[in-house]
Structure 1
Amino acid sequence: MAPTTPAPAPATPVRRGRAGVRVRTTVAATVVVAIAFALGGLLLALALGRSLSDQAASTAEQRAEEIAAQVERSGPGVLDPGADDPEPSDDDEDDDVEDVAWQVTTGDSLVASSGTGGRSLPRSEGTTRLDGDRYTVAVEDVEHEGTRYDVAVAVSLDDASDSVTALVPLLAVGLPVAVLLVGATTWVVTGRALRPVEAIRAQVASIGGDDLAARVPVPPSRDEVARLATTMNGMLERLEHSAEQQRRFVSDTSHELRSPLAGLRQTAEVARSHPAAIDQAELVEAVLEETARMQHLVEQMLVLTRTAEGGGGRRQGDVDLDDLLLAEATRLRRLRSDLAVDSSRVVPARAHGDGPALAQVVRNLADNAARHAAGTVRLSLEDGASGHVDVVVEDDGSGVPADDRERVFERFVRLDEARARDDGGSGLGLAIVREVARAHGGDARVEAGDLGGARFVVRLPAVADAS
């Protein structure tokens, strides 16, 4: 019988306790950007402070070199304490250290100075504090007329500190605004990206078992969502085709079983109403004939069901196809003395699969050929392309018209309806052949044969070293 479709499992309720993709994406993007901006702002402030400090140190070194060159050339007496120094403002105290200060000393004696506010500058390079402010100091040694002089220049680092201090409020305001802008943009973009997904979800939720012809909307974009929608539509199409096949199978099966059941009932009613009209032998023969038809039909349907379910758990192994064909040739010769059965083209060949199912394929082909042959049936094995082997069964009958060569593999299809019923055909034999072949990674086809009738070819993956 056709496999029954299991009842669909109840839909799993959506968990509302967990945030959706849109919320998680927005939060993740916002957190990552906030961390990146915070680190970037910190590095910017540090880099700015370092750059301004290096600039002040360069200024101190340049000024120290200029003063040292003057002392070396003309001595410290030519130095003008007020030259090149900024004018102090009215608010500055007299003893304040200016932004740029220098001094020239020899030994422990101060020779000249400017902007130091009466304080001595360090005689080593580096940073120091004067009046609580940080300065960078540059030192040069110079000699004039046998006397060594030490030149020290100090440049204030207040400008660097002030610039960094001024940058902090800007970062404190600008970075949160930028983070909020990124979060809002992510929220909007993610919402638009997920809108087709929600449309797909809503459409899938509305599709029932009786409405498999419906399809989900495919967005115009060529992204993952569009591919998801296309894949889901393909799945729905396969489900619709499978459901339609199942409905047709059930309908055809009911129709096929109705005939032998009606025959049995009619025979039983006649025997009950008119016991003398049918003798016991005739009654037994009629019952056996109809039950045999029913048994054959049920067995064929069970084979189809087992094939559709993946073999029904049967064991797989290497199958000698030549043994199967030779056994069928012997059987046909025994049953049909009027047929010439040619098995001379059967060569050793082996396939991996379900032995009983492949035997059923060969028997169905042999029975079909014997049913339609005028006097000759030929069974053979041929090497197929790309590591395949072809099981070929031919007859010298009327053949299969080109327009019907695909239709003959459909279930319950009989090209000669009355004749097929009379000689026991169920309309399932060739359907079984194709489905078993495809379940083994092969296929089945029919074409015009050399004998003038039909030539059925079943292609199966071959196993090497079949001899």
Structure 2
Amino acid sequence: MAKYLPPLFTRLYLSLLTAIFASILLTFYLSEQFLQRSDVVDFYEDSLQVFIDVSSYLQRNGQTAEQLFKDDTVLDPEFEILWQKNWDANADCEHCKFLSVIANTAIYQLSDEQLLAVYPLQQSEEVILISDKPANSSIFSGDRRQQNSSLITLFRNDPSEFIPYLLLLIVIISLGTTLYFSVRRLQKQINQLVKVNQEFGRGELSARAQKNYTEPVNELAQSFNRMADAITETVSENQIFAQAVPHEMRTPLSRIQLATGLLRQRKLKCEELVLLDNIDDYIDDIEKLTRQVLTFSKLNSISNQCDHQAKQCIKLDDFLQGRIKRLVVDNNLSINLNLQALQLECDPAYLRLIFDNLIKNALQYAATHIEVNLKVSPKNLIMLTVDDDGPGIDNLQFETIFQPFSRLDKSRNQETGGLGLGLPIAKAATRRINGHLFVSHSHLGGARFSCQLPLKVP
């Protein structure tokens, strides 16, 4: 449902315009009601005075209303006054609009500028009808009440009727224009912040927000820049530390190797030689660990132009077959290859780290069979999958196995649990070429590692 909605700032702008339009219409309506009420009250007071004068006239002359109105006596030049023996609003004033009752006097609207007051006479069903005097027709002329003139005719006759609507249009255009540029500017600044945030998330740690934003966006930009500075400083320190430690460890390791070599030249017992062999194995493990730590650190370092400079157009099917020949030494394992002829332009070092670590992981845990597939997925992505028939991986460990030094086998022995950096390195290398690496259950019964890569690496 949300994908069919317009963007946030568009909804905000339309909401503001709607609120303004509704507020102005409500103001016009309330004003019109108030003015209409005022006109009704004024008309009632004026017509009441006329009714009092007519009643006084009847009392002074001892006449009935019927006798008075048989003569063409002009009682008031501003109002038309009529007598009616029986009054039925539904029949006698069918096209009238009832407005209100004030002091037992019903007020009706005959037309836009003509009101009618019905004053009942005491102790009878007779009424006195007092209305604004029309120009050329009787009170109950239906033609006069039903105005069928066009808008052009109405504008020519009374252009003042359109002034409120013209004012409404001007206010909406003025406020709408002002709000549009303000909202548009705010939207542009937010979009720039989002773009900087995305660049920073892709590893461009030098990305920073501009400082010339308006309130309150400038506070958000400054907060982002402070956070980015702190993260960049921390990442730089960690990278320096991670890259320096392996280099610093090589000197003592070389000295240990030299010492074990000198000891071997002496006549030692078998137990002592076994200990020296164990020391050499530990040194080899430490060297492999330092190399992997250094590789992992470089993969997670700040992105630079080297990634673009090292790109090559690689035939993936030939590349994968060549890597399998180098890595597979166990003839007891059956490896089934289903490789589609595809090409990818990327750094071959990243591709080698991805595939080598996935194959090594499969070789370590597979029982008898490994299956490698390479094809284009329905989402137009390159899909590389490596399946094995090993013990598989529990669902709870699908994410943890990609964390550094996380192993299913708690042993630090490389022959069993490994060093715990192979899969994290593969995931980091996949991320470097904007891919996605994840694990699931295989149809062979073991684990399936799937690597999604874009057809064209940016």
- Both structures adopt the same fold (TM-score exceeding 0.5): no
TM-score, normalised on structure 1?
Answer: 0.43
- Higher Cα Rg: structure 1 or 2? 1
